[in-house]
Amino acid sequence: VPTTMAASAELRVDQLPADPLLHILSFLSFRDLINCSYVNRRLNELTKHNPLWKTLCSKHWLLSDADRLLSGTSWYCLFRQYYRDLGRYIKYYPALKRAWEQLKGFLQQRCPRMIASLKEGATELELNNIEAEIDCRLPDDYRCSYRIHNGQKLVIPGLMGSMSLSNHYRSEVLLDVETAAGGFQHRKGMRHCLPLTFCFHTGLSQYIALEPAEGRHMFESFYPCPDQTAQDPSAINMFITAGSCFLEWFTSYVHNVVTGEYPIIRDQIFRYVHDKGCVATTDDITVSVSTSFLPELSSVHPPHFFFTYRVRIEMSSKASPEAACQLDSRYWKITTSDGNVEEVQGPGVVGEFPVMRPGKVHEYSSCTTFSTPSEYMEGHYTFHRLANKEEVFQVAIPRFHMVCPPYREPVGRTKTSSSYMSHLDDNKEEDCDGDSDASATMQQLLSDVCTENRNSISSGQSSGRRRGPAPVPALRRRCSGCS
């Protein structure tokens, strides 16, 4: 009898009152909710409760109340509608959709031309046709992003970042899938690689590997770099870019843009990287430095790594008028990863002798080349007071590191021993590797960078001069200097 009474007192979960049962159901995934709907009629009704699907619509599709009102249907039906269309991408859609919305919101007021250049999303049929055309599967995160926006029109500036020196300009467009398919690679050295970006001025593209071929990992992105010392033209080195898949590649880039890591300069995204610790203050003057690696002007063989750096010198607005001063000279100490140390001294910076007054900011860009993949620079500027030229003092330049991205050599490459160093100060001129025309052109780039890539700002007002880029083809041989 006691056993019978205990059995009759048992309460099944589906017999619970609606409120606690709905609370339990709210912790389930959409797949578990659907499975529960097949248990019995009561659970079938409860699993369609609108608030449950509102949460899931917000989580997976980033839908709002306005979206539901516009659809004129229930949250449950809205979820099913999106799932029928985008269900295969549910793992990636929230992160990619959020990244696109953040990027557009950030750029709308700053770079409206970029937003206007974005294309509407591709359809499933269009993506399937592209796969048939290239005879290769597109990764789902790539497809998901292109369902949201099918890249951008072939315009300048490009969405994926720019870099401008005096006679060198790069701006990478995010390719639409049809144009990307036209650049899909079948040739030896680049088999099964799909271009993600393209620059009109340099011909530079970032690629994604759709198959694990020729030493590449599946779905990693990279800049190709021909091996100039190999007799085989298919010998391609690779500078690996961020992330092991398209999702990481795109969302990490968006994060750098919307957090201000990449500055907006002249309505374009410049891919300078600033180490928050790379700041030094001497009295009323603060110096900070950001850096960028230029793959289109670099090579692994011969070892030639090209960097540009942007220096910001600012005098505090709280400084007294008597603190006004003028920069006289610079001193650099450069240390490469192989232990070599070089010291460079010279008058001014990039041919100028900026005067600093309270609240003024002076920025300039310079560039340098090393034969090692990493190095650091540090030093100081020498100033004199305007009110007393005899009062001379030094302002520290913080140590900043320049590190090229990881690179990979083609499978089976014969190791060669080569030493290739071409770091020159402002007063040296030298042909780096026997090509006098290319070397002279790069030397001109390094000397002209001072006049084209600086921006003096006083009290938040720019100098008012408009500096447009002067595009030239990518160069592969160069010399370097420091300012």
The CATH number of whichever domain residue 185 belongs to comes to 3.40.1580.10
Sort 130 into a burial class: Cβ within 10 Å, 0-12 / 13-18 / 19+: buried
Asked if residue 226 lies in contact with residue 196, where contact means CB atoms within 8 angstroms, the answer is: no
Least confident of 5-14, 64-73, 81-90: 5-14
Provide the 8-state DSSP code for 15.
G
Which one has a higher pLDDT value, 476 or 52?
Answer: 52
Residue 240 has pLDDT above 90, yes or no: yes
- The predicted model gives 411-429 an average pLDDT of 40
Q: Phi, psi at residue 78, to the nearest 5°? A: -65, -40
What is the rounded average pLDDT of the residues 427-435? 34
Residue 448 domain-assigned (yes or no): no
Share the mean pLDDT of the chain: 84
Residue 464 has pLDDT above 90, yes or no: no
Is beta strand 221-226 parallel, antiparallel or unpaired with respect to 305-315? Answer: unpaired
In terms of domains, do 97 and 243 share one? yes
Q: Which of 210, 217, 161 has the alpha carbon at shortest distance from 186?
A: 210
Q: What is the pLDDT of residue 243?
A: 80
Residue 457 domain flag? no
User: Do residues 76 and 159 share a domain?
Assistant: no
- Residue 265 falls inside a structural domain: no
Residue 77 in this model has a pLDDT that exceeds 80: yes
Phi/psi at 20 (5° precision) = -65, -30
Confidence of residue 242 (pLDDT cuts 50, 70, 90): confident
Residue percentage of the chain with pLDDT more than 70: 83
**Which has more confidence, 439 or 257?**
257
CA distances for 301 relative to 188, 234, 369, 405, 414, angstroms: 19, 14, 14, 15, 12
Identify whether 135 is part of a domain. Answer: yes
Task: Determine, yes or no, domain membership for 105.
Answer: yes
**Domain check: are 348 and 365 in the same one?**
yes
* Nearest of 331, 315, 333 to residue 323 by alpha carbon: 315
Q: Are residues 110 and 254 in the same domain?
A: yes
The yes-or-no verdict on residue 465 having pLDDT over 80 is no
Average pLDDT over every residue of 333-362: 94
Q: Do 82 and 112 belong to one domain?
A: no
Q: Residue 131: inside a domain, yes or no?
A: yes
Per DSSP, the three-state class of 134 is: helix
Task: Specify the CATH number for the domain of residue 361.
Answer: 2.60.40.1470
Do 97 and 82 share a structural domain?
no
Whether residue 106 has pLDDT greater than 90: yes
The pLDDT of residue 410: 78
Q: Read off the CATH number of the domain in which 68 is found.
A: 1.20.1280
Q: Over the Cα atoms of the chain, what is R_g?
A: 29
Average pLDDT over residues 297-321: 95
Q: What is the pLDDT of residue 473?
A: 32
Q: Does 479 have pLDDT greater than 90?
A: no
How many domains does the chain contain in total?
A: 3
Task: Judge whether residue 129 has pLDDT over 90.
Answer: yes
Give the separation between CA 147 and CA 126, rounded to whole angstroms.
10
> For position 34, what pLDDT does the model report?
92
Q: Examine the pLDDT at 62 and tell me if it is beyond 60.
A: yes
Range of lowest pLDDT (136-150, 295-309, 416-430): 416-430
Question: What is the pLDDT at residue 417?
Answer: 34
CA separation for the pair 167, 185 (Å, rounded)? 30
3-state helix/strand/coil string of 289-346: EEEEECHHHCECCCCEEEEEEEEEEEECCCCCHHHCEEEEEEEEEEEECCCCEEEEEE
Residues 237 and 281 grouped into a single domain: no
What region does 348 belong to: left with phi over 0, alpha with psi -120 to 50, or beta?
Answer: left
284 shares its domain with 247:
no
In one-letter notation, the amino acid at residue 472 is: V
Which among 379, 408, 437 is the end of a domain?
Answer: 408
Per residue in 296-308, pLDDT tens?
999 999 999 999 9
Under DSSP, is residue 24 helix (H, G, I), strand (E, B) or coil? Answer: helix
Residue 21 phi, psi (nearest 5): -70, -40
Quick: pLDDT tens for 270-286: 999 988 889 999 999 99
**The predicted structure's pLDDT at residue 412:** 64
Domain shared by 301 and 205, yes or no: no
Helix intervals (H) in 10-151: 18-25, 30-36, 41-46, 50-61, 65-71, 75-86, 93-110, 112-116, 124-134, 140-148
Question: Do both 220 and 352 map to the same domain?
Answer: no
Q: Is the pLDDT of residue 376 over 50?
A: yes
At residue 9, the pLDDT reads 60
Last residue within a domain, chosen from 88, 111, 140? 88
- Predicted confidence at residue 276, as pLDDT, reads 86
Q: Does residue 215 sit within a domain?
A: yes
Whether 213 contacts 189, CB under 8 Å: no
Q: Which of 259, 290, 314 is the last residue of a domain?
A: 259
The reply to whether 336 and 361 lie within a common domain is yes
pLDDT-based confidence at residue 394 (cuts at 50, 70, 90): very high
Residue of higher predicted confidence among 136 and 481: 136
Same domain, 223 and 293: no
CA atoms lying within 13 Å on the CB side of residue 166: 18
* In-domain check, residue 447: no
Instruction: State residue 238's pLDDT score.
Output: 93
- The pLDDT value recorded for residue 167 is 82
Domain extent, residue 138, equals 93-259
Of the listed ranges 81-85, 419-423, 479-483, the least confidently predicted one is: 419-423
